[in-house]
Amino acid sequence: MPDSRLELLLAEQIRTARLPRPEREHQFYPGRRWRFDFAWPDRLIAAEAEGGIWTHGRHSRGAGFEKDCEKYNSAALVGWRVFRFTGGMLNRNEAIPVLREVLE
- Top-confidence residue, 34 or 64: 34
- Angstrom CA distances, 42 to 15, 20, 61, 82, stand at 19, 11, 32, 14
Q: pTM here?
A: 0.84
What mean pLDDT comes out for the span 39-60?
77
pLDDT greater than 60 at residue 54 = no
Q: DSSP letter string over 7-39?
A: HHHHHHHHHHTTPPPPEEEEE-STTS--EEEEE
- How far is Cα of residue 28 from the mean position of the Cα atoms in its chain? 12
pLDDT greater than 90 at residue 98 = yes
Cβ-contact 67, 104 below 8 angstroms: no
Fold annotation for 5-103: Endonuclease; Chain A (3.40.960)
Sheet holding 45-50, edge to edge: 23-27, 35-40, 45-50, 81-86
